[in-house]
Structure 1
Amino acid sequence: MEDVVVIWLDNHIDHNNPDCHVTLTQLQRIADNVTTFTDNDECVEFIISNNHHRVYLILSGALGQYLVRCIHDIPQLHSIFIFCQNKSYHEQWAKHWYKIKDVFIDIISLCQAIQITFPQDEPNTTPISFVPSGKRLDLLNPSFMYTQLFKEILLTIEFQDKHIEDFIKHHPGLITLDSNHSSDVKQLVREYHVKKPIWWYTKGTSLHSILNYALRIMDGDILVRMGFFITDLHRNIEQLHKEQFVNTSWSSLVFTVYRGQGLSHTDFDELRNTIGGLMSFNNFFSTSTNRGVSFSYAESSADNPKLVGILFTIRVDPSQSTTPFVHVENHGYFSEETEVLFSMHTVFRIHDIKVIGSGRPIYEVNISLTLDSNEELRALTDHIRRENHVDGKGWARLGQLLIELSQQDTAEKIYDTLLNQTSDDSEEALICHQLGRIRHRQGLFQESIILYTKSLMLLEKSLPANHPSLGTLYANIGSVYDSMGDYPKSLEYYGKALSIDQQSLPENHPLLATSYGNIGSVYHSMGDYPKSLEYYEKALSIRQQSLPENHPHLATSYNNIGSVYYRKGDYSKSLEYYGKALSIRQQSLPENHPHLATSYNNIGSVYYRKGDYSKSLEYYGKALSIRQQSLPENHPHLATSYNNIGSVYYRKGDYSKSLEYYGKALSIRQQSLPENHPHLATSYNNIGSVYYRKGDYPKAHFYCERAVQIVKCSLPSNHPHLLVYKRNLACVKDALWRSSLTHIK
């Protein structure tokens, strides 16, 4: 931990002594920064000068009794631990000093105690999902759904040694082995197979923390590289579970385990609202049979004002559940450890919550492992598989899930590998289709069309002309042309898709709604708002009849209709529909999903039109933040965000800031869009407007004239943008003329 230093002060430390070496090795496995001293003065000077770390000090009994009165009140010194051979004697004087946490005679107990007192500065470091009783399944927490799918998919993949090598190659600092092994990658690979996955998970390495981190933020790149370990660890737990709990004396023995930790105040409120419902720990979940140790973790968490101290008391009935869990004793790194480890994404029922302890409130939460026969859990799992249209198997299925999570770069690596390995036309068509989706999302439009067209040609060899798969490809090609601003081409392909859908699908099928929505989007871009609204409302009508009320596709319809009202100047109506779209997306998508950015951006635009520039900047800023995290740096949507923020500064009269953001938008659009794309015209017009306001009429004329030239090539002659840009150019020409008259005079 970066903000912690563990110091071991003992006048008799000898690094050549085997016992000292063992003690030091154990300490280094719980903390990155461990320092030893044999000289009292040097140690005290080091503590006083260490202004940027919390100091955790280990002292021998006799030395501690003498030294503690001199150092106890040093601010940097957080905790003191007495490590000795006579526990009862040293406990007598140690109890008078509040920074002394306890007296220890063995290194394992000492290390566990130090870990408990380490600061927990990251709220909710354990990824948790809640499913209240009776909650509609379409309102599920996205992390609950995606971790379930990740686990299912990974368990269908056969990982090889090359995947271990790839992980170590890309994350060389994640595994901390003894120093004589750390430099040899091949030896690291061999070392991995020497011990069981549970041993690695409970050992003092970063495998544990980096896996939890990746699961918490759903980092597809790390999770894919760690797929071998996730799979191996699950199967190791599964195997030992059968040995320990299937047809053994433990099979019908109900027992209780505990876990102490901190929850953010937001998650704690959600926990209280989920009594009677379900919760899942979306990682591998460690518990202890020792209530006292777990309570200490809860107490330590309660010291942090950002956290609520929680003691989970967990009832487990092995006879009622096949969820894999295992007693770690004799299998983990610490052979004496009284730990029970549950596999990833284990689901529990929440029974009640009560306050325990004195002083700082700590909450005991009673939960139990869900039964295999639980209908609610079965319905939940079926819904997740049905709603996330991720088909195929193995790596191909994983790639689709990563695209759904907007982690295109990782998905691309998977599909590129699969493409090089296949010789089957149908498989190649599927892979090209997915790569086309990725290129489109990356803003690489021409490459996307090439890949989609290749997929189309391969499928046309074996499918009838009205097959729905061909309709999907036509729609995707139409979407790329829409992004490129080639609206006639876009309408042509969207029309082909609609024709196939009308022939092959029932009249209220959701895919028909998608086709109507796509065509409505093109008419919207062309400025034909009545036609656009007609198609958008057809799409909404079908979706309202065929989908749950909080389905993400309904959010798309609400968003689209809101955009028409926005263009018509009905901002109250627009905000109403944009708000509905945002509400659904917040419940159904990961927090950094690009569709959320779209909603924030659109609401920001409404506030911009209403003159509420502070609100507008707030929402535009949220959209930009998501796009910077989830999109390539030259993606057109980033240009949209920069352009919009530039417009706010323009309205506020901050022309320097405005020009800065408009310039960023133009730079991206010049790199990523065709030279006559309407969005380029928008950038030229906006920059021209800034120069006009600054009185630099020659520059204003250059940019405004370029805007008019582009829209004449790309938009209908009656498009509102063309009329606005012509008017702006006329104003600039008039200003230039008046300026020239002034110079003549």
Structure 2
Amino acid sequence: MLFSQAIKCVYTIPGQLLYDLKADVLQYKKYENNGIFNDLGRKEDNTTDDAIESWWVTYMDVLVYLSYPDEFYHKLVDSLRTYYDGKETELKTLDEFENEYKPDRAVWWYTRNTFLYSILNRALRQHNIAVMFLFGFFVQDLYRQVQAEYERLKLEHLVEPTMNVYRGQIMSRKEINELNSDFNIINNSLLSTSSDRQLALFFLPEPDQMEDSSHERVLFEIGIDIRRQSRPYADISHLSQFSGELEILFMTGTPFKIVRQNGVSYNENEKLWTVKLQLTRDEFLVDDRAFESFTWDSQRLKKCLTPLSDSLQFASIEDINLIFDIFCDLYAQEEKWINALRFHCIGRYQSWPENNITAALSYYNKALQTWNNESNYCSINIGQIRHDIARCYSKDAIINPSMSSKYFNLAIESYIKAIEETTTEIEQIDIYEKLSELYMNISDNLKAIQYKELQVQFTLKYYSSIDDEKCAISLNSLAFLYEKIKRYDNALTNYEKAIKILLESIVSHSSWWIIPICNNLIKIYNEQKDDYNSALKYELIKNEYVLKDNEGTHDSTS
């Protein structure tokens, strides 16, 4: 064999070539599998994330609602078996997991003291796309089991719907400094909490035992109102391997608000940071009812993946491509339209934050070309892209009113067609909202109101008993449209319906919406109706919530 710097080696004996090729392939496959888990040590752990700009929650929702192929869990087991090659204890646990795992034992396996717990939560905190995809079936089973327990928890707390739970956590100073009061966050990993403050502190190392000087001891104090619409959390103590004290487990992506007064504080004597949180309304909660009518896996997959185009602009190009590479690999028969979603996501990334409008339009057109060859259930996707193209032509860099108007109207055509494609009324709520927005873009206010009325009608029908704030928000947006065209009586009617819902809500009232709605009512009664008594009524309500806001005595956001 002759060696050079450019070539690994030159073979003159075919048998030796085949032998070395086989060895290289095996080594590469081992490296490839190991690499998925080796990456867990290379990224920074983040316990929390910005609730608005997190694409990770949407990715987790995709994993929860996917239809996985039979025996998908073997992919995880095989990868872990390669990673732990030669480690007898871990391999024994893997054998047990492979032979005995059942979906209704997901919580038990999660709470068991094995490497599965540590790998799963580290992958969650580090936003490791590939590892979490392997764990997707497990996250889905865990979510469903916690969801069933969540319904029981709500029934058990009808009389006393509020509680406090605690969580001890080691966090970097950098992450602590980013936790500002009056700020909305989500948990990146699964969050186990205790009803006992001292027990939560017990699991923290003592100050003199801290090995990393860049990290601090943190205690989360979390206030829960069980009546607030949320992704599932539940007492899992009776399902856990370690039964006993109440343990509330929150699923990944649960939104919390850091309280306004002394939300983040430090106790020098205890060497302990305290972060006071309140469970807040989940604006991005997926409604299970939207999936009930799907009979084909491809429909369900499309419903799962489509929301990624709304959130992945906050991810990197590398992460976007990795996500879609994974789905193309698993669902090869759907590769064409999955790539259409990829092009759409990259187009949005190029539009913002890159502000490269030319590149954005190029990717949008590639996505459109692919979708136009699809025949089933894709009008929403086409409508989204046409809407984004219209926005591009409205930007200063390439402003073109004619092209912008053309694509706004094409987007309207797509969404009207989408109404015919939907199989449930609940799906139509988002379509009516989009149509209202599009008609506003082309200054057709009457059509905008027509579709906003339909959105409100179906929102009240499907959410009046489970999400008061969602209903109030839709009425508020309808009132705004009526005010815009100076139909003040209609505006007052809908503003007052919205404020009534918020004030009568069984959940703690939200000044985030109450104060601005009161301002709108005060303005109309004073300036358009000369009705100063009615204006005074809402001035008093507004002042009450401004005062509470300043005192930090209630939840100031939805």
TM-score bracket for this pair, using the shorter chain length? 0.3 to 0.5
Q: Which structure carries more relative contact order (alpha carbon 8 Å, separation 6+)?
A: 2
**TM-score between both structures, scaled by the size of structure 1:** 0.36
The higher radius of gyration belongs to 1
**TM-score between both structures, scaled by the size of structure 2:** 0.47
